[in-house]
Amino acid sequence: MKESATLAVAAKARALKAQGIPVIDLGAGEPDFDTPAFIRDAAAAAIEAGATRYTNTEGILPLREAIAADANRVQVQGVPVTPAEVVVSNGSKQSLYNAVVCCFGPGDDVLIPIPSWTSYFEMVELARANAVPVLGDAANSLKVTADMLEAAATPATKGLMLNSPSNPTGAVYSRDELAAILALASAKGWWVIADEIYMRIAYEERAQSVLEIAPSRDNLIVINGVAKAYAMTGWRIGWSIAPVAVSKAMTNFQGHTTSNAAAVSQHAALAAIAQHERANVEVEAMVAAFRKRRDAVVAALSAFPSVQYVHPAGAFYIYVNVEGFRGAADPGAAFAAAVLEEYQVAIVPGSAFGTPNWIRASYATTASIAVEGLTRIATCLTA
């Protein structure tokens, strides 16, 4: 097992700050906003009402009903999503792991478009399956196509991981791109594990869920949570929407590992999802702030025309090409070390995401800090 690179960077940045070194931390994938007040109030009320005991492993019924209702606002399959298809977990990371363990095993190949979130590979390996990286097209925001996935497939391929908007690139798959990938997976009988945790954070156009494109949910496992869009990272609530048989398997697996998610956190998530219109006001305000920061860092990089990066259409990351940096064998790792030591900026090397020629910087901070950090990054790269 490898240490999580993103968590390692955050820990190193905290350690340097504790020593009095003024580090700009652009490594963390965490919104810097407070959880909206009405959600915090709901949690406090739930505690006073006695929400301090075990719940069903799969989560409280009102929360699963709210998640199903939210999914039914977009799903096009004609058969409503039911609470029986929903399993609430301790964060979307656990939901992803539940899905991988329950669907894949020894001898199975799982296609993972890269760059991808660092934990996908470890999860697949923990399931004793084979992670098969599929490098995205640099000319198309490092996204993969259905043709690229088909070319990488083998007779042992059993599924793929899909993430849009993307961590680490911020790229957003179009409806046509998703439709082609979903059609291929359906024809091949592959599972599609769709990580949609950044779904609400998109700028040019609304990011689309696989639920509003796929003609069937028979091979879909959709993962989401409250962490990113609702600024609720520490509450640790995620969920999956999957065929009933898969959801039962994930419930059983979770019952032998962590059991239910924290009761009070489930009630907080219930407020976020059930109070749809109220939450939208808060989410839209946060996304608007992220977009201003995105625009600010892109504008700052315009002063360095030689610096190449993926256009960040969603999430809150910018992925920068550092290929050839100081002749290093792992340019991203060398750059991450240099920019931290010489310019006091913490970022994540691209090797953590399967692409060592790149680095990821997060602008989930104030605009001024993000601009200063990206300016230092570009200065280091072009020095």
Residues present in the chain in total? 383
Is residue 322 located within the same domain as residue 264?
no
For 13-38, what is each residue's pLDDT tens digit? 788 888 888 999 999 889 999 999 99
Per-residue confidence (pLDDT) for residue 5, from 0 to 100: 65
**pLDDT at residue 4 greater than cutoff 80:** no
**Which amino acid is residue 141, in one-letter code?**
S
DSSP state of 143: B
The one-letter amino acid code at 297 reads: V
pLDDT above 70: percentage of residues in the chain: 99
43 located within any domain: no
Give pLDDT, residue 68: 98
pLDDT, tens digit (0-9, with 9 covering 90-100), for 360-378: 999 999 999 999 999 999 9
Domain with residue 67: its CATH number is 3.40.640.10
Q: Which residue has the tokens 């931290």?
A: 340
- Do 259 and 145 fall within a single domain? yes
Place of tokens 């990286």: 133
Residue 4 DSSP label: P
267 and 292, same domain (yes or no): no
Domain coverage including residue 339: 5-30+279-382
Phi, psi of 279 (to 5 degrees): -65, -40
Distances from the Cα of 274 to the Cαs of 70, 198, 268, in angstroms? 8, 19, 10
- Supply angle C-alpha 317, 320, 321, rounded to 5: 155
For the segment 256-263, the average pLDDT, to the nearest whole number, is: 98
pLDDT of residue 15: 83
Note whether residue 342 is domain-resident.
Answer: yes
Does the structure show a pLDDT above 80 at 9? no
Peptide bond into 62 cis (omega under 30): no
Backbone angles phi, psi at 372, to 5 degrees: -60, -45
CA dist 284 and 271 (Å) reads 17
Write down which residue in 274, 294, 319 finishes a domain: 274
Q: Is 37 within the bounds of a domain?
A: no
Q: Are residues 292 and 209 in the same domain?
A: no
Position 184 scores a pLDDT of 98
Question: Do 285 and 252 fall into the same domain?
Answer: no
Contacts of 213 (CB under 8 A, 6+ apart): 76, 175, 178, 179, 182
Q: Is 33:356 a contact under the CB 8 Å cutoff?
A: no
Assess if residue 42 is contained within a domain: no
Last residue of a domain, one of 233, 252, 274: 274
Average pLDDT of span 171-197: 98
> Does some domain include residue 263?
yes
Structural contact between residues 356 and 297, judged by C-beta atoms closer than 8 angstroms:
no
Same domain for 71 and 107: yes
Please give the DSSP secondary-structure letter assigned to residue 313. -
Q: Are residues 324 and 365 in the same domain?
A: yes
Share of the chain above pLDDT 90, in %: 93
- CA dihedral of residues 131, 173, 28, 26 (deg, nearest 10): 120
Say yes or no: 23 and 57 in one domain: no
Is the pLDDT at 103 greater than 90? The verdict is yes
Same domain, yes or no, for 214 and 152? Answer: yes
Decide if 335 is inside a domain. Answer: yes
CA distance 43 to 230: 14
Residue 47 CA to residue 10 CA, distance in Å, equals 31
Are the beta carbons of 111 and 149 closer than 8 angstroms?
A: yes
- Across 5-19, 28-42, 226-240, 342-356, least confident range: 5-19
Where a domain ends, among 274, 308, 327? Answer: 274
Tens-digit pLDDT profile for residues 120-137: 999 999 999 999 999 999
Query: Is 47 a domain residue?
Result: no
Looking at the fold, whether 163 and 69 belong to one and the same domain comes out as: yes
**Given this model, what pLDDT does residue 248 score?**
98
Nearest Cα residue to 207 out of 190, 185, 224, 231: 224
Give the pLDDT of residue 49. Answer: 98
pLDDT, one tens digit per residue, over 38-73 is 999 999 999 999 999 999 999 999 999 999 999 999
Residues in contact with 329: Cβ distance below 8 Å, sequence separation at least 6, in sequence order: none
**Average pLDDT value for the chain:** 96
Residues pairing with 162 in the sheet = 194
- What the block records as the tokens of 247 is 């959801």
Other C-beta atoms lying within 10 Å of the C-beta of residue 274: 17
Whether the ω angle into residue 165 lies within 30 degrees of 0, i.e. cis, is yes
Which helix (H) or strand (E) segment holds residue 349: the answer is strand 348-349
pLDDT at 29: 86
CB atoms within 10 A of CB 148: 17
User: Which residues have CB under 8 Å from 151's CB, separation 6+?
Assistant: none
Q: CB within 8 A of 333, min separation 6: which ones? A: 349, 351, 356
Residue 321: pLDDT band with limits 50, 70, 90: very high
What residue type is 52 in one-letter code?
T
CA dist., res. 379 & res. 322, Å (int): 12
Residue that wins the pLDDT comparison between 4 and 295: 295
CATH of the domain at 312: 3.90.1150.10
Q: Across-strand partners of 110?
A: 131, 159
pLDDT of residue 6: 66
So what's the pLDDT on residue 8?
74
Contact between 175 and 211 under an 8 Å Cβ cutoff? The reply is no
Q: Say if residue 185 is in the same domain as residue 307.
A: no
Mean pLDDT of 177-192: 98
Instruction: Please report the pLDDT score of residue 3 as a whole number.
Output: 74
In-domain check, residue 41: no
Burial category of 302 from C-beta neighbours within 10 Å (exposed 0-12, middle 13-18, buried 19 and up): exposed
- Report how many domains make up the chain: 2
> Is there a single domain that holds both residue 218 and residue 251?
yes
